[in-house]
Structure 1
Amino acid sequence: MKTAVSLRVRSAGIDYQVFFPYADAPVRAALLAAGVRYDATARAYLLSMEAELVQRVQAACAQLSIPLSAPPLPIIPQVLPPPTPQNELLARYGQRLALKRYSSQTVRNYNTAFRAFLVYHAPRLPLTLTHQQILDYMAERVATGISEAYQNLLINAIKFYYEQVEGQPRQYYEIPRPKRPLLNPKLLGKDEVKALLLHTENSKHRCMLMLAYGLGLRLSEVLNLTLQDIHSSRMVLYVRGGKGKKDRMLPLSEQLLHWLRDYYRQYRPLTFLFEGQQVGERYSDRALQLVVKQAAQRAGIQRPVTLHMLRHSYATHLLEAGTDIRLIQDLLGHSSIKTTEIYTHVAQRTRPASPLDNLGL
């Protein structure tokens, strides 16, 4: 039977249900790229009733030379309430963040923090507030027990509005900041890393943990990898758009490449190197942290373990093996050597013997 795609209006009247040969991987990948999504609750592939999305599906079908059957788009009148001044500010705020090309995580965090600032002072607008009122707001939030990291986020989000969106002078730098504690990085011993990997039987999960420890990748860097980032002929892995929008090239070990090939033969990802339950969908941050937590429990590690601890362990173990700290800085993608120097506080080779051992007691 000839391959075909058809759209049918669902009972709710806001989505089309998309019918096509689900086993046909190229067709499925093309439709997902065009905007079709899988709804686990409905157990069906759906497409929102938007002219632009329908046109993208039509173009995808035309490119694959397969027929598309689609009913005409219904005319749905929408009466939207006028935007509030706060909503207009949020729109301008989000636009400025987008133009500054901040990371998606930073955009979400700033938007959430600034929205809380607006809601607290509504109906007053930020430009009507005095500097003292902003300090009072910060003091009240601190009194609720927020973390120092979230306090800094609030300050940065508020500063961004006044200085970047409204072009105000940098007077808001005068908002007091908490003193950053100098904490040693939390890491795992080599035996603990080995136990963690040995107790991770799923090949996808093991490869993600091996990349975090074997190359010192951050969580976002692991999950943003694509198939094109692995160059087996040169034995390198490219990290694109890491923290600070920096790219870097890392040496790829033979053992890790072997595991990655076995994983690929089993899962056949299409877009991202590690995909979720739906093809072409990036594996989620929370799911990966849960993988680490469960692996640590199976390995008998009592204290809390996060994926970032594998990055800390990578850097510390390199330093203990005699690797030059400047090279470690480059491998980790640190802008400043001072950031890399925190590992000198925990590397075993930097600790002198106690003079008590020489007393012969």
Structure 2
Amino acid sequence: MKKIFLKNGFNHKTPVIQLIFPYDEELKQAVKLLPDCHWDTFQKVWYVPYSDNQLDMLLKALRGKAWLDYSQLKKVAIPKPAPLIPELEPLDTESAKEVAAFIDWLRNKRYAESTIETYSGALTTFFRFLKNKPLKDVDNQDLERFNKEYVLARKYSASYQSQVVNAVKLFFSNRQQRKLDPEIVYRPKKPKLLPNVISKEEVKEILNAHKNIKHKAMLSLIYACGLRRSELLNIRILDIDSKRKMLKVRQSKGRKDRFVPLPDKIIELLREYYKVEKPVEYLFEGQNQGQKYSEKSLENVLKQALAKSMINKPVTLHWLRHSFATHHLENGTDLRYIQELLGHSSSKTTEIYTHVSIKSLQKIRSPFEDL
């Protein structure tokens, strides 16, 4: 009897059950008749919504048509829907003017656009929560109430809480010439999360998944040089020095330039790519020549590679950068050099990779072996 493998998966962060089987027209037609069954164009797989009784429904619906292998299917905890919280009032004209002036001030101070977007968004939310209260009347209690009744009530992250405090503090000290005391809103301790890393074998599968030379070159360059997503998309053709085998990364995080070495295999791949695509200004351009490739399209390139390589981990582009650093450390590269390659200002940022490197841990003998 024909076999269908059932595996856990996600569709837009929603848990689903994937139905995996070699192409078979009869099975395809049978699966299409399942309630709420859909085709994922990126992962190239059929899926149904996850529920505790979904397996029983699948077994019943496909009885006599296919044998279901659910050995890799795991139970998933479905979070309860959060209670409804009233929406905030729209921003009034005066408050909008203040936010616009704050944005102009940030730009004049040459803050990064991502920081400007984060700070202005946090400040806008703060004003809306206060129902456009006159700025001269805003005090510490308002900030404390916002933290309790909005940030904590909606279970936003510790980093978001810090961003709001930073935005409000900066606005009132530089735009209103008075200080609120953000210390009353206790700064949450940031959770110490370890970076996500995949093995060299998994990296190889992802990089070799695409036959399209452009897609392969983009993912390969991120891993080969430990680049951030924005750094890859901002590379111009002139930034590549093939004779010196170096890549100049311009104005990355912290508005810093840095050089990273280009491996010979990457140079060969980029030469092959250039002959095919012939970019004009940026190394990787979108449908229109001279315009950068979009971030969303790059994310889709990775999703397609994961689907083709049958890797079910929620790998992101930044995982490739983390893996680059960790694999360097495991190969014996000095931590100071890794810091330079990644463009970290502080060595403490780079030191986190010592906690995920398994080379030294694998040498440790467990006392269990002596029992």
TM-score (norm 1): 0.73
Report the equivalent of 1:119: 128
CA distance in 2: counterparts of 1:274 and 1:209, whole angstroms: 11
CA 1:138–1:259: 2 relative to 1, 3 Å:
same
Number of aligned positions between the proteins: 278
Report the equivalent of 1:85: 94
**Which of the numbers 332, 349, 353 marks the counterpart of 2:359?**
349
Gaps of 5+ in 2: 1-91
CA 1:358–1:237: 2 relative to 1, 3 Å:
same
CA 1:172–1:196: 2 relative to 1, 3 Å:
same
Aligned ranges 1:256-295 → 2 under 5 Å: 256-295=266-305
List 4+ stretches of structure 1 deviating above 4 A: none
**Which of the numbers 103, 124, 129 marks the counterpart of 2:138?**
129
CA distance in 1: counterparts of 2:136 and 2:342, whole angstroms: 41
CA distance in 2: counterparts of 1:308 and 1:121, whole angstroms: 37
Aligned ranges 1:119-198 → 2 under 5 Å: 119-141=128-150, 142-169=152-179, 171-198=181-208
Aligned ranges 1:263-342 → 2 under 5 Å: 263-342=273-352
- Which whole-Å deviations, capped at 9, do the CAs of 1:33-92 have from their partners, x for residues lacking one? xxxxxxxxxxxxxxxxxxxxxxxxxxxxxxxxxxxxxxxxxxxxxxxxxx9211220221
- Which whole-Å deviations, capped at 9, do the CAs of 1:214-233 have from their partners, x for residues lacking one? 01001111111111110112
* Identity rate, percent: 41
CA 1:281–1:125: 2 relative to 1, 3 Å:
farther
SS in 1 for 2:186: coil
Contact 1:227 1:272 in 2 (8 A): yes
Report the equivalent of 1:15: none
**Partner amino acid for 1:115?**
T
**Partner amino acid for 1:146?**
Y
**Partner amino acid for 1:303?**
K
Report the equivalent of 1:213: 223
Aligned: 1:107 with 2:113 = no
Deviation, 1:173, is 4.5
SS in 2 for 1:312: helix
The farther-off stretch of 201-210 and 165-174 is: 165-174
Contact 1:292 1:306 in 2 (8 A): yes
CA distance in 1: counterparts of 2:251 and 2:225, whole angstroms: 16
CA distance in 2: counterparts of 1:123 and 1:244, whole angstroms: 33
- Which whole-Å deviations, capped at 9, do the CAs of 1:124-177 have from their partners, x for residues lacking one? 133321201111011122211222222222222222211232233463344322
- Which whole-Å deviations, capped at 9, do the CAs of 1:256-287 have from their partners, x for residues lacking one? 11111222222222222112222222222222
CA distance in 2: counterparts of 1:125 and 1:202, whole angstroms: 57
CA distance in 1: counterparts of 2:295 and 2:138, whole angstroms: 38
RMSD over aligned CA atoms reads 1.7
TM-score (norm 2): 0.71
SS in 1 for 2:248: strand
Report the equivalent of 1:246: 256
SS in 2 for 1:136: helix
Deviation, 1:331, is 0.9
CA distance in 2: counterparts of 1:127 and 1:354, whole angstroms: 65
The farther-off stretch of 338-347 and 102-111 is: 102-111
**Partner amino acid for 1:136?**
R
CA 1:268–1:177: 2 relative to 1, 3 Å:
same
CA distance in 2: counterparts of 1:355 and 1:179, whole angstroms: 33
Higher helix share goes to which structure?
Answer: 1
Contact 1:118 1:125 in 2 (8 A): no
Report the equivalent of 2:81: none
Deviation, 1:121, is 2.0
Deviation, 1:94, is 0.6
Report the equivalent of 1:203: 213
SS in 2 for 1:114: helix
- Which whole-Å deviations, capped at 9, do the CAs of 1:91-119 have from their partners, x for residues lacking one? 21111110121112222222222222222
**Partner amino acid for 1:255?**
K
SS in 1 for 2:181: helix
CA 1:164–1:204: 2 relative to 1, 3 Å:
farther
Aligned: 1:97 with 2:93 = no
**Partner amino acid for 1:126?**
L
Report the equivalent of 2:9: none
SS in 1 for 2:191: coil
